[in-house]
Structure formats: structure tokens, C-alpha cells
């Protein structure tokens, strides 16, 4: 998909927000939702989305909405650092298929990284849901 287009109400994140699809929730406030990535690049990989903005990517989201997302990203990055003690943390956001975007609802990845872990975006298999719940609980406890 292109960087430009119309918002699809049937994207997986819209379905998660409508409780039509499950997620392993880590954090939620009035404007944002954070959950474990089911195709993680590393242990503790989370996604942060806006609950109300119907934005496909960074180009579509309002300045206020982006600020709300980033405030949650910072809070969750701090919690992941405290809970998981990674060697580094990648915070990234993709816009359009050529850039790596696969879900067209604005979102930010928080990816704890560990020495020797070279897994790339969308290169791994689906995670074990029990393992994701355990990681989510560790991060929630650090919030």
C-alpha cells in the first residue's frame, strides 16, 4: 500500500479497538492503547496506537494525537527498560509499505534489544501468547 490513502475501518488495530480481535494489553489511557506485538522482533516488543484518531500513518495524525502517542511511548519505553533490562531499545514508526508498514493505523513500535539479537521487522513467527502475557505483566508492574 501507498503512503497515501483512506483509512480502512477493518484494519486489525481498528478491530482490536472495537474488541473484535484480542490483544495482550500492556497499557491504556483515555487516548492510547499499548499491547504486545504478536510477531515480535524481540522479547518485550510492544505497539502503541491512538484510540480515536483514524490516521493511517504519521502524515495523517493530528499534532495533539501524535503528542498523546509519544507520551505513552516514553512511559512504556521507561517501563520496558526497568522491567526487562534490555541492552538497548528501538522506537520506530513506519509510513507506507515500502518503509515496512503492514498495518495502516498509525502506531509506534517499542522494541527492547539484547546483545546478539538480530531479528528484523516482520521476520519472525507468531509469539506464544502465554509468554506475551508474562512479559506484559512484567512491564505493567513497572508502570
Catalytic residue among 45, 50, 107, 109: 107
Q: Is 20 in a helix, a strand, or coil?
A: coil
107 included as an active-site residue:
yes
Could you tell me if 56 and 47 are in contact, meaning their C-beta atoms sit under 8 angstroms apart? no
Q: What angle do CA 89, 70, 56 make, to 5 degrees?
A: 105
Cell of 42: 524481540
Copy the grid coordinates of residue 76. Answer: 512504556
For the annotated catalytic residues, the residue numbers are 107
Amino acid at each position: 500500500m501507498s503512503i497515501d490513502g483512506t483509512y480502512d475501518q477493518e484494519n486489525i488495530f481498528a478491530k482490536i479497538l472495537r474488541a473484535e480481535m484480542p490483544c495482550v494489553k500492556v497499557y491504556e489511557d483515555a487516548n492510547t492503547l499499548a499491547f504486545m506485538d504478536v510477531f515480535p522482533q524481540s522479547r518485550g516488543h510492544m505497539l502503541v496506537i491512538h484510540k480515536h484518531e483514524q490516521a493511517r500513518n504519521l502524515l495523517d495524525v493530528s499534532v495533539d494525537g501524535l503528542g498523546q502517542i509519544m507520551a505513552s511511548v516514553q512511559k512504556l519505553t521507561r517501563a520496558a527498560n526497568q522491567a526487562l533490562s534490555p541492552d538497548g531499545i528501538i522506537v520506530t514508526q513506519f509510513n507506507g509499505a515500502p518503509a515496512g508498514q503492514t498495518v495502516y493505523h498509525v502506531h509506534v513500535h517499542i522494541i527492547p534489544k539484547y546483545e546478539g539479537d538480530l531479528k528484523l521487522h516482520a521476520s519472525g513467527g507468531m509469539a506464544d501468547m502465554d509468554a506475551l502475557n508474562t512479559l506484559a505483566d512484567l512491564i505493567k508492574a513497572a508502570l
